[in-house]
Every structure is written in C-alpha cells, then in structure tokens.
Amino acid sequence: MQILESQNNPIAEKSYTQEDWQGGYKSLTQEYDYWIDEIEGHIPLELQGTLFRNGPGLLDINGQRLHHPFDGDGMISRITFSNGRAHFRNRFVETDGYLAEKKAGKILYRGVFGTQKPGGWLANAFDFKIKHIANTNLIYWGQKLLALWEAAEPYLLNPQTLETLGKEYFNDVLSPGEAFSAHPRITPDGKLVNFAIKPGPTTTITIFELNSNGEIISKQNHNIPGFCFIHDFVITENYCIFFQNPVKFNPIPFALGIASAGQCIKVQKNQPTKIIVIPRVNSKAAQDGVKVLETKAGFIFHHVNAFECGNQIVIDSICYESLTEVEPNSDYRKTEFEANAPGQLWRFNLDLLDNKVQSQLIDNRSCEFPTIHPTNVGKPYRYLYAAAAHYPIGNAPLQAILKLDLESDTREIWSAAPRGFMGEPIFIPRPNSQQEDDGWVIALVYDAEYHRSDVVILNAQDFQKGTVAKLHLKHHIPYGLHGSFTPETFI
Ligand code: FE2
C-alpha cells in the first residue's frame, strides 16, 4: 500500500493485527540457497552487489521458547543482485553456543534479555556464562565478512558460502571475549570506526579505528563514571559521541537466577542523559579533553548521523521517552504497542563552548532503523530513511518506510500495511550518482498473508510510484536487526 503524507490522517483503527505481527516471530530452521524467481517489477541492472542481513533466526530451541528475540541465534540472509537477477542464501552463524544447543536439543544458556535454562531459578543461579549469539549486524570490511554482537568479538564468515570460520581478533588486537560493538560507522575517507563498552561501576569505552584493509590502526580507552548501556554512537570529523542514558544495574536478581542481566537494568527517569564527546585520534581535536554535556532523560538505541557546525555538534537520533523494560514473566509477542512510548526523531545541538544542549522533536512518527547515504556519515546531510509506523502518530509496529527531507521539512511514506511488517531499510546509491537521494531503498518485509518475506526495492527519489521490484522469497525470515550492502557480488 502506498500513502501520501497527510497531517490530518485520523487514526480510526489499527493498521495491523497482533496475530499477523506475531507471524514474523517464528523460527526459521531451514537453510536455503536459490535464485529468486517470483518477482514483481524489474530489478535495476545498475543494482549490482550484495545485501547482507543479520538477525535472530531461532525464537525457540527445539520448542523451548526464548524469552526475547534479542536472545535468538544469529542467522545471516544474503541477497545478491547481479545483472537484473537476485540470489538468496541464508545460514546460521555457527557459534559455540548454537552448535552446543543444536546437539543437545535444548536451552543450555541464559540469555541477556531473559531466556533462562529450564528448571527455575535454581538451575540458573550463579551461572554467569554468556552465550555469544552473533545476531546483530553484519559488515563486509577489509575483505572480511564479520557477524557482530556488541558484547564480544566478531565471528568471521566466508562471504561465498556463509560458512563460519571462527572468531576475529584483528591480529590479536582484541583479546578473547573482548567486545566490539554491532554499530560501526564508516567515514567518507574510508576508515571504519567502532567502539566497545565494558560496563561496571566505572565503564570503559574503547574506540577502534580500522583502515580499509581491516586492520585496527588505533585503540583508545576512556573511563566514564557510572554504568553504561550504550548500543550505538555517532562520529564527526573530529569526535566520537556517546549518549549515556540514565540507567542503573542491580546484579543481585541476575546472580540469584531470578532475572537476566538485561532485566536488571532499570531506567532512572529523574536523572539526565549524559552526552560524552571524545576527540578522535589524529584529529584536530585530539589534544582536547573529553567533554560531558547533559540533556533530558530518555533512551536511545540508534542514532541517524552527526556533523560539526562551527562550535556546535548536531546529532539526529531516535529517542524514546523511556526504555521499555523486559519483565521476567512477560511475553514479547503480546506487546501492547499503544501502551509504550514510540521512538521519535530528535535533533540535539551541542554547544561545545558553553556546554549547553538544545533538543528538538523533528517528527512525531514512530520510527526505527535509520539510514542515510553512506558518504554523508559524520557530515551535513539532507535525506534520511527509516522504518516507520503506518500512521503519523501513536506507537505501532514498523510497517512503512519514511523518507525525510531535512532541508525542506517534507516527508514521503511507502507502507506495506495492513499485512506487511518492515525491517531495516538500507539506502544504496546509484553508481556515479550526483544527487544525495539518487539510489534505491531496499528492505525485507514480512508478509503475513503468505507467511513469507519480500525484498522490496524503492526508487529513493520516487516513493509515490511504489516498488521498483518486489522479490518474493519462498519462506519467511524472522524479523531481523541490521545489515549492510557491498558492491561486490557473492553468489
Ligand atoms: Fe542496533
């Protein structure tokens, strides 16, 4: 369904049913390898390359339900575009934990987001083992395909076969178990900047910079007072910026086997968010100290982008009024969207001279998974795209793609409602394009009508025409997290 933006869009009814939405949270155990032959429209010939996606493929282990999708084992989906055709392949990341549970046919590990071993609290008490699930993102960098999960080192995969090759330590710069976040940023001059969080009463933030060969060329540590739950960050030419949302961590229920580590994180609504501005190595600001600014409480999983403007840093982020906490006895499939605060797009202006922060709501619509033109990371930019709710107000599942023009303050929406549910969109520039929005927006959409997923391709300059192509897969892909595109083709 395609709709045009209207400020007077009355919400008479829901744009979805809970039952349809739940269908995307079924495990996919089978691994496929095929050319996609059911296609509406035409795949552009100029669209050459590989879209990699990652996300939880299993929502249960042999019928034992996981408490939260974030605890699910990482499953890679690869869609390769070549000469107007598209090939699909999926494969699980064969982590040690995935293989052990597959062999045992039951849950062997506690999950960060609430999954417990069968047998009640006694079976879980004082078990602090973490299962590396490698389920959050996937990047192809320095000719290495890396499955990322924020609490540990990446898993290295073969991009041709998606076979798991082992853990990646970047020539021993990482030590076993050392974190490497799932949200790296790639600079316009071809560096990959990433971070790691080692939480505690004092949290260590580590910043890595990698060259285009995939080698870590710098690694710097910063100690920050207090517990941090930081999932994403932003960079500019001279800075890395982190939002330390106000949370506290009480480990006792985790230790006693009553709750998972994630369930022990509690929001402190009366405390401010701290914005930590760390100069990048070898930048003009390298000799400056770390600055900490404050803004209102709230919670941010994902930022869109940031850029410098004189003495100011501008940061665009998806901000929630509060973090929705995962309760031990809750069922995520029964989430009441309307009862939770939506994620909304905000702009933060940081004044580095007087240490003041101004914030402004840019758009009411519930949205997540923002994406921009890849060469504008850390620079001023005009267009952003995000998965969004069908209606412009209220909280609801992601069913649409929003295009926002920050310059003209106009919006376009392409919606898959009522029976389609949207994954993270990726913007792919057309080769040799000159305009910022000249390219395609590609996303996976779960279609509840057929219990299968579609790859949808939109012309980013013309949402009103609908999809350029819609590729029907032979099966569904459980709702995923993040992914990336490379112009290289792997089949
Ligand atoms: Fe994320």
Distance 40 CA to ligand 1 centre (A): 30
Distance 150 CA to ligand 1 centre (A): 9
Q: What's the burial of 360, exposed, middle or buried (CB within 10 Å: 0-12/13-18/19+)? A: exposed
pLDDT at 268: 84
CA of 171 to the centre of ligand 1 (A): 26
As given in the structure block, the two tokens for residue 200 are 């505690």
How far apart are the CA of 354 and the centre of ligand 1, in A? 31
- Report how far ligand 1's centroid is from the alpha carbon of 70 (Å): 11
Q: What is the pLDDT of residue 339?
A: 87
CA of 182 to the centre of ligand 1 (A): 7
Ligand 1 centroid–CA 181 distance in Å is 9
Tell how far the Cα of 169 is from the centroid of ligand 1, in angstroms.
22
Task: Walk me through the domains of the chain, giving residue ranges and CATH numbers.
Answer: 2-486 (2.130.10.10)
**Length, in residues, of the chain:** 491
**Omega within 30 of 0 (cis) for the link into 253:** no
Kindly state the tokens that stand for 325: 């906490």
Residue 318's DSSP bridge partners are: 345
Is residue 242 helix, strand or coil?
strand
CB atoms within 10 A of CB 96: 12
pLDDT of amino acid 119: 85
Q: How far is the CA of 118 from the centre of ligand 1 (A)?
A: 29
Compute, in angstroms, the gap from residue 136 CA to the centroid of ligand 1: 7
Distance 424 CA to ligand 1 centre (A): 10
- Write down the pLDDT at residue 408: 97
CA distance 114 to 67: 5
pLDDT tens-digit map of 268-321 = 888 999 999 999 998 999 999 999 999 998 899 999 999 999 999 999 999 998
Which pTM was predicted? 0.94
The predicted structure's pLDDT at residue 422: 98
Mean pLDDT of each 10-residue bin along the chain, 491 residues long: 46 87 97 98 98 97 91 97 98 97 94 85 83 96 97 97 98 96 96 96 96 97 93 98 91 83 83 96 92 92 97 97 73 88 96 96 97 98 98 96 97 98 98 97 98 98 96 98 98 91
The string of DSSP letters for 253-273 reads HHHTTSS-TGGGEEE-TTSPE
State pLDDT tens for residues 89-129.
Answer: 999 999 999 999 999 999 999 888 888 888 888 888 888 88
Query: 183 CA to middle of ligand 1, Å?
Result: 6
Q: Give the Å distance between the CA of 301 and the centre of ligand 1.
A: 6
The counts of H helices and E strands in the chain are: 4, 36
pLDDT of residue 6: 42
- pLDDT at position 4 is 44
**Nearest-angstrom CA–CA distance, 357 and 340:** 26
Instruction: Give me ligand 1 centre to Cα 231, in Å.
Output: 6
Query: Is there a contact between 232 and 302 (Cβ–Cβ < 8 Å)?
Result: yes
Q: Which residues pair with 442 in a beta bridge?
A: 426, 457
Burial class (CB in 10 A: 0-12, 13-18, 19+), 348: buried
Dist CA 152 CA 148 (whole Å): 8
**Model pLDDT, residue 12:** 59
Find the 123 Cα to ligand 1 centroid distance in Å: 31
Distance CA 75, CA 456 (A): 20
Is 160 strand, coil or helix? Answer: coil
How remote is the CA of residue 84 from the centroid of ligand 1, in Å? 31
Whole-number pLDDT of residue 7: 44
Dist. CA 135 → ligand 1 center (Å)? 10
